[in-house]
């Protein structure tokens, strides 16, 4: 047999190790499920880590109520197919206040419907460890974060004072009310993710594949008009264009790219020649320099 | 809804061939280290840029940031690519390690960019712990500095065997060969003791790219490889698969009564179905029945794979234990020597109890002997009573329960541990095991026929340790004295261990530094334990200012035997009473390290008995103590008679 592990085998083993460590050391873990491609990989790894058992923790989706409809349908389908315990949390205060990314802007919307909602959900269930799908190659403050990332009782990340993280020996000790965010995909790159999806035949939301979709050009981005809540401004028109998404989030904040890549191979091929990063399609990262770090310190994933 | 699966796709495609080639590439994990301002982050920015890993939007952001925070005039400041934290960009320094990823046609790389400032050494160690090679940067104008040496020592201790000596900013010394050679000589002078297998010096300018990814025409006297050529070809194989089988059990997977699997990552060696394996701590042996994986059982698995093993019979194995090769077993001991790198601003104190964590095991541990501290400048072994932040030392450790381990030199996975503070939960140190201590193997507990219970029964009492803690002058001795008189009068057998008295004899070699205070308490706690074992009611009257040591004392005693008594008198009242005139002198600065004045007192959070002395008499305090003792004895007698079950 071939002794040397392949690159993907190493990454997979590292992630599985992390999953098991959390299951063994924490009383009440949860996996944050955001329905995107990284979440799909995370879910696949969780199924592998505990096979033949099911993952010994629930999956939590923080629903901002502005996700693409296809994401919600995919989420429910996966929960049924794999039989995991799916929790959905919505910030009802935000719903009552009619928080709307078109009206209140991406910053307020993300803070209320995502960051605050997440903190509400973690407090409500008393989770002491939460898995997220973030990767270090995504963004430069993420590149600085530990795999086991400590949060105080207010869910605050203190980037200047992170615990040393030596070898694969993780410090899982916390006081009551404190928690750890855990990132099993820390060392994966975007290319690794796609390669693994291809190799393992992992289902992903169809929005990643090119298709004719009704889009509006706004502020230099192509926004998919997913429902009637998106009102057209003067001069704007809805056009059917061949587009796909590199990342998925709230539809008003996620730009599509023009592409005819309708297979995984074509997506990877396109990515290999891409000249912009995947987060380029995310409106929330462009608000200001260091915006990701700021959000993370407030409790964003 | 359309459901896309890769299976449904055309199997032949250029992309698949490309990806197959990617899969065959090996991975090199390395770090950049060295002193502050030697250009570590700039070098990584240069590597990422020259290997085309920077996207257009990232470049645009970089240009914006360079104008705002840059330190390179109108040029792009590549350091801003890796200094991802706001505080780092504002201050122009690296605080924490950043991980970046890049690939060339020959290899994949994960690089850890680590901080040069001494105060962030722990973050450098974090980056080094998972690296196979270190690029040690040196500013050609500065030469070998203190941090160059410190980082080289830490890299060596953490098992790194390959070093690139990047003599950077060579443009600023006019591409001078003599400068380059003098630095190499200086480095070799001190590093020959560090056990590096390869040291490859390269003259370079990270800022302008000389000898980074392309050969510089300004250093025609240099014939070695460029940095990237060397990184692409250096062989760092550890061959963990060649070592004896080690499988630290991480998680017991038991979904139903019919399945009991031991999940973990193979630390070294390989395992096949049918192999005999031994449980490290018990020595019991069994056979591998199945190697379970998601896609179907495996016949064999090797180092690095995360698997689940099912054994032939129901041997007792839990998390923290290890399944190992019967022919080459790890050591199992509760005393061993280790190199320790200390991370915390509170110094390592011998005698203090910490949590020791290996990859899957956890127990409590104390440093029984700090043998010496290593001077990072000249490697001199210096006597030390404590290990301060960022210092390196060699220690003997004693754990509460035995752990299974190899030496770090034999196995980087099973020979390493971290130390955690019991109260703050901070990761305070990292350890690399050198060898077990022979005395752990040879000194066994002598079992005695007469037990503690028998000795206490003969005195018609139950053993107890009343541990009085409180400020100097709080009334500990007065209350303890009266308490003993009352007990004595009712026929109990007692003894008082008084702080001042013990310092005249057993502890007269100890002063009042933090390290000595810890040792002071450790000795007294051990004496109290022996006396409790003799069946006595022991009254310990010590300031004992640190909660860690009181906890250590508590853990030495049997359950229910240790009674923490907080003699709670406010500082102002103690200073007013000042029975020995000490407060007046301490407040004048004549006595150093005086508890409550310039040395802290950590009040107990959950003492068994809390005596608030203000406005109360010593008699009232003692009544509370007697009441507690009587209630405990009644409860224990009931338990013994079956009433408590």
Q: What pLDDT digit, counting tens, does each position of B268-323 carry?
A: 999 999 999 999 998 899 999 999 998 889 999 999 999 999 999 888 899 999 99
Asked whether the predicted pLDDT for residue B388 surpasses 70, the reply is yes
Catalytic residues of B: 544
The one-character DSSP state at A114 is: I
pLDDT winner (highest mean) among A54-63, B583-592, B595-604: A54-63
pLDDT band at A213 (very low <50, low <70, confident <90, very high): very high
How far is it, in rounded angstroms, from Cα B124 to Cα A121?
35
**Portion 44-103 of B in contact with A at CB < 8 A:** 55-58, 61, 64-65, 68, 81-87, 89, 95-101
More confident call, B631 vs A280? B631
Residue of A nearest to B302 (CA): A3
Looking at residue B643, its pLDDT comes to 38
Looking at residue B584, its pLDDT comes to 86
Does residue A69 belong to the interface with chain B, where contact is any CB pair within 8 Å?
Answer: no
pLDDT band at A146 (very low <50, low <70, confident <90, very high): very high
Looking at residue B8, its pLDDT comes to 32
Q: What is the mean pLDDT of residues B367-378?
A: 88
Q: What pLDDT digit, counting tens, does each position of A86-130 carry?
A: 999 999 999 999 888 888 888 899 899 999 999 999 999 999 999
CB pairs under 8 A between A and B: 220
Q: What is the mean pLDDT of residues B50-69?
A: 76
Looking at residue A106, its pLDDT comes to 86
Structure token digits, residue B281: 């701590």
pLDDT winner (highest mean) among B336-340, B506-510, B633-637: B336-340
Structure token digits, residue B83: 């200094």
Looking at residue A241, its pLDDT comes to 95
Looking at residue B372, its pLDDT comes to 93
CB contact under 8 A, A263 and B9: yes
Least confident of A142-151, B207-216, B431-440: B431-440
Reported pTM: 0.80
Q: Is B235 exposed, middle or buried (0-12, 13-18, 19+ CB in 10 A)?
A: exposed
Residue numbers in A near B24 (CB within 8 A): 6
Does residue A177 belong to the interface with chain B, where contact is any CB pair within 8 Å?
Answer: no
Looking at residue B269, its pLDDT comes to 95
How far B432 CA sits from the closest chain A CA (Å)? 11
Per the CB < 8 A criterion, the answer to whether B6 and A197 are in contact is yes
pLDDT band at A250 (very low <50, low <70, confident <90, very high): very high
Residue numbers in A near B85 (CB within 8 A): 141, 144, 159-160, 293
Residue numbers in B near A70 (CB within 8 A): 1
CB contact under 8 A, A165 and B108: no
How far A31 CA sits from the closest chain B CA (Å)? 18
**Portion 311-370 of B in contact with A at CB < 8 A:** 319, 343, 355, 357-360
**Portion 277-306 of B in contact with A at CB < 8 A:** 292-294, 299-300, 302, 304-306
Residue numbers in B near A52 (CB within 8 A): 253, 255, 259, 261, 292
Asked whether the predicted pLDDT for residue A285 surpasses 60, the reply is no
Asked whether the predicted pLDDT for residue B510 surpasses 50, the reply is yes
**Portion 270-289 of A in contact with B at CB < 8 A:** 272, 274-277, 279-280, 289
CB contact under 8 A, B95 and A277: no
Residue numbers in B near A204 (CB within 8 A): 4
**Portion 19-38 of B in contact with A at CB < 8 A:** 19, 22-27
Asked whether the predicted pLDDT for residue B445 surpasses 60, the reply is no
Residue numbers in B near A276 (CB within 8 A): 55-57
Does residue A203 belong to the interface with chain B, where contact is any CB pair within 8 Å?
Answer: yes
pLDDT winner (highest mean) among B525-529, B575-579, B590-594, B634-638: B525-529
Looking at residue A277, its pLDDT comes to 67
ω before B476 within 30° of 0 (cis)?
A: no
CB contact under 8 A, B294 and A51: yes
How far is it, in rounded angstroms, from Cα B435 to Cα B322?
18
How far B353 CA sits from the closest chain A CA (Å)? 16
Looking at residue B144, its pLDDT comes to 93
More confident call, A9 vs A4? A9
Q: What pLDDT digit, counting tens, does each position of B175-229 carry?
A: 999 999 999 999 998 898 898 999 999 999 998 999 999 999 999 999 999 999 9
Task: Spell out the residues 6+ positions from residue B474 whose beta carbon is closer than 8 angstroms to its own.
Answer: B567, B568, B569, B574, B613
How far A93 CA sits from the closest chain B CA (Å)? 31
Half-sphere exposure (Cβ direction) of B553: Cα atoms closer than 13 Å: 31
How far is it, in rounded angstroms, from Cα A156 to Cα A119?
10
pLDDT band at B9 (very low <50, low <70, confident <90, very high): very low
Least confident of A101-115, A283-297, B355-369: A283-297
Best residue in B1, B6, B361 to probe A by mutation, most A CBs within 10 Å? B6
**Portion 108-127 of A in contact with B at CB < 8 A:** none
Least CB-CB distance to A160: which of B2, B83, B95? B95
Looking at residue B396, its pLDDT comes to 94
Looking at residue B600, its pLDDT comes to 87
Asked whether the predicted pLDDT for residue B551 surpasses 60, the reply is yes
CB contact under 8 A, A9 and B305: yes
CB contact under 8 A, A293 and B84: yes
Q: What pLDDT digit, counting tens, does each position of B511-535 carry?
A: 888 888 888 889 999 999 999 999 9
Cα distance between the two ends of chain A: 40
CB contact under 8 A, A201 and B5: yes
Looking at residue B568, its pLDDT comes to 93
pLDDT band at B455 (very low <50, low <70, confident <90, very high): confident
What phi, psi does B29 have (nearest 5°)? -105, 125
How far is it, in rounded angstroms, from Cα B69 to Cα B64?
9
Decide the pairing of beta strands B306-311 and B285-292. Answer: antiparallel
Asked whether the predicted pLDDT for residue B3 surpasses 50, the reply is no
Least CB-CB distance to A195: which of B22, B130, B357? B22
Looking at residue B227, its pLDDT comes to 96
Does residue A198 belong to the interface with chain B, where contact is any CB pair within 8 Å?
Answer: yes
More confident call, B590 vs B141? B141
**Portion 395-424 of B in contact with A at CB < 8 A:** 412-413, 416-418, 420
Percent of chain A at pLDDT > 70 equals: 93
Best residue in B102, B123, B258, B263 to probe A by mutation, most A CBs within 10 Å? B263
Looking at residue B70, its pLDDT comes to 67
Looking at residue A276, its pLDDT comes to 67
Asked whether the predicted pLDDT for residue A159 surpasses 60, the reply is yes
CB contact under 8 A, A276 and B55: yes
Asked whether the predicted pLDDT for residue B453 surpasses 60, the reply is yes
Residue numbers in A near B13 (CB within 8 A): 265, 269
What phi, psi does B577 have (nearest 5°)? -65, -50
More confident call, B8 vs B266? B266
Q: What is the mean pLDDT of residues A277-297?
A: 61
Looking at residue B81, its pLDDT comes to 74
Does residue B6 belong to the interface with chain A, where contact is any CB pair within 8 Å?
Answer: yes
How far is it, in rounded angstroms, from Cα B543 to Cα B583?
14
Residue with tokens 């001199």: B380
Does residue A168 belong to the interface with chain B, where contact is any CB pair within 8 Å?
Answer: yes
Task: Indicate the average pLDDT of chain B.
Answer: 87
The one-character DSSP state at B546 is: -
Looking at residue B587, its pLDDT comes to 85
Q: What is the mean pLDDT of residues B323-332?
A: 93
Short-list A200, A160, A156, CA closest to A179:
A156
What phi, psi does A227 have (nearest 5°)? -160, 180
Does residue A20 belong to the interface with chain B, where contact is any CB pair within 8 Å?
Answer: yes
Task: Spell out the residues 6+ positions from residue B296 whose beta carbon is closer than 8 angstroms to its own.
Answer: none
Residue numbers in B near A290 (CB within 8 A): 86, 89
Q: What pLDDT digit, counting tens, does each position of B126-139 carry?
A: 999 999 999 999 99
């Amino acid at each position: 047999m071939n002794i040397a592990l392949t690159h993907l085998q190493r990454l997979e083993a590292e992630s599985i190790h992390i999953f098991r460590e959390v299951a063994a050391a924490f009383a009440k873990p949860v996996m944050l499920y955001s329905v995107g491609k990284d979440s799909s990989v995370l879910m696949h790894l969780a199924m592998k880590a505990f096979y033949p058992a099911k993952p010994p923790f629930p999956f939590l989706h923080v629903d901002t109520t502005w996700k693409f409809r296809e994401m919600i349908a995919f989420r429910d389908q996966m929960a049924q197919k794999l039989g995991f315990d799916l929790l959905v949390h919505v910030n009802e205060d935000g719903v009552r206040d009619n928080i709307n990314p078109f009206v209140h802007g991406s910053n307020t919307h993300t803070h209320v419907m995502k960051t605050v909602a997440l903190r509400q959900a973690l407090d409500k269930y008393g989770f002491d460890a939460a898995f997220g799908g973030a990767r270090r190659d995504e963004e430069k403050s993420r590149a600085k974060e530990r795999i086991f990332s400590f949060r105080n009782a207010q869910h605050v990340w203190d980037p200047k004072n992170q615990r040393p993280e030596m070898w694969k020996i993780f410090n899982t000790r916390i006081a009551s009310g404190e928690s750890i965010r855990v990132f099993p995909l820390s060392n994966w790159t975007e290319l690794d993710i796609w390669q693994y999806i291809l190799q393992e035949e992992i289902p992903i939301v169809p929005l990643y594949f090119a298709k004719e979709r009704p889009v509006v050009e706004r502020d230099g981005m192509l926004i998919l008009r997913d429902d009637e809540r998106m009102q057209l401004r003067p001069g704007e028109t809805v056009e059917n264009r061949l587009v796909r998404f590199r990342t998925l989030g709230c539809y008003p904040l996620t730009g599509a790219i023009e592409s005819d890549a309708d297979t995984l191979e074509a997506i990877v091929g396109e990515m290999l020649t891409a000249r912009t990063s995947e987060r380029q399609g995310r409106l929330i990262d462009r608000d200001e320099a260091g915006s990701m770090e700021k959000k993370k310190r407030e409790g964003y994933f | 809804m359309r459901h896309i699966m890769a299976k449904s796709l055309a199997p032949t495609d250029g992309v698949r061939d490309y990806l197959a080639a990617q899969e065959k590439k090996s991975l090199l994990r390395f770090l950049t280290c060295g002193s502050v301002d030697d250009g570590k982050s700039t070098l990584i920015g240069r590597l990422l840029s020259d290997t085309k890993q920077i996207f257009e939007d990232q470049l645009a952001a970089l240009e914006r940031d360079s104008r705002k925070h840059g330190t390179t005039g109108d040029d792009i400041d590549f350091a801003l690519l890796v200094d991802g934290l706001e505080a780092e960009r504002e201050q122009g320094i690296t605080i924490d390690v950043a991980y970046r990823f890049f690939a060339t046609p020959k290899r994949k790389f994960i690089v850890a960019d680590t901080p040069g400032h001494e105060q962030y050494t722990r973050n450098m160690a974090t980056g080094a712990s998972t690296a196979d090679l270190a690029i040690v940067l040196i500013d050609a104008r500065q030469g070998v500095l203190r941090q160059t040496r410190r980082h080289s020592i830490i890299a060596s201790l953490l098992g790194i065997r390959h070093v690139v000596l990047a003599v950077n900013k060579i443009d600023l010394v006019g591409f001078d060969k003599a400068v380059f050679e003098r630095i190499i000589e200086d480095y070799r002078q001190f590093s020959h003791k560090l056990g590096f297998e390869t040291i490859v010096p390269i003259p370079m300018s990270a800022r302008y790219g000389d000898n980074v990814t392309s050969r510089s025409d300004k250093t025609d006297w240099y014939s070695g490889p460029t940095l990237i050529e060397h990184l692409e070809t250096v062989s760092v194989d550890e061959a963990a698969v060649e070592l004896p089988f080690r499988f630290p059990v991480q998680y017991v997977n038991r979904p139903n009564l019919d399945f009991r699997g031991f999940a973990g990552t193979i630390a070294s060696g390989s395992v096949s179905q049918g192999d005999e394996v031994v449980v490290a701590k018990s020595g019991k042996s069994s056979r591998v029945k199945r190697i379970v994986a998601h896609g179907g059982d495996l016949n064999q698995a090797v180092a690095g794979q995360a698997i689940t093993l099912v054994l032939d019979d129901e041997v007792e194995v839990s998390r923290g234990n290890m399944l190992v090769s019967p022919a080459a077993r790890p050591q199992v001991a509760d005393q061993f020597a280790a190199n320790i790198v200390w991370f915390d601003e509170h110094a390592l104190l011998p005698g203090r109890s910490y949590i020791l964590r290996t990859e899957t095991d956890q127990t409590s541990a104390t440093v029984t002997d700090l043998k010496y501290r290593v001077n990072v400048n000249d490697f001199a072994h210096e006597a030390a009573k404590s290990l301060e932040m960022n210092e390196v030392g060699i220690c003997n450790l004693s754990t509460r329960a035995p752990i299974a381990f190899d030496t770090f030199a034999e196995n980087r996975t099973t020979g390493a541990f971290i130390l955690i503070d019991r109260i703050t939960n901070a990761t305070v140190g990292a350890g690399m095991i050198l060898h077990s201590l022979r005395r752990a193997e040879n000194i066994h507990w002598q079992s005695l026929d007469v037990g503690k219970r028998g000795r206490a029964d003969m005195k018609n009492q139950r053993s107890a340790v009343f541990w009085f803690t409180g400020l100097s002058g709080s009334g500990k001795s007065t209350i303890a004295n009266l308490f003993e008189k009352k007990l004595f009068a009712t026929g109990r057998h007692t003894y008082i261990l008084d702080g001042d008295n013990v310092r005249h004899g057993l502890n007269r070699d100890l002063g009042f530094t933090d390290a000595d205070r810890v040792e002071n308490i450790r000795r007294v706690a051990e004496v109290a334990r022996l006396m409790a074992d003799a069946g006595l009611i022991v009254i310990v009257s010590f300031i004992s200012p640190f909660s860690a040591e009181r906890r250590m004392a508590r853990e030495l005693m049997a359950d229910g035997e240790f009674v923490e008594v907080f003699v709670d008198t406010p500082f102002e009242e103690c200073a007013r009473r000042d029975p020995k005139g000490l407060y007046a002198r301490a407040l004048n600065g004549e006595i150093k390290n005086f508890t409550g004045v310039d040395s802290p007192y950590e009040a107990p959070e959950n003492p068994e008995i809390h005596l608030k002395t203000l406005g109360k008499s010593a008699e009232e305090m003692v009544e509370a103590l007697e009441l507690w003792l009587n209630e405990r004895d009644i409860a224990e007698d009931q338990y013994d008679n079956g009433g408590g079950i």
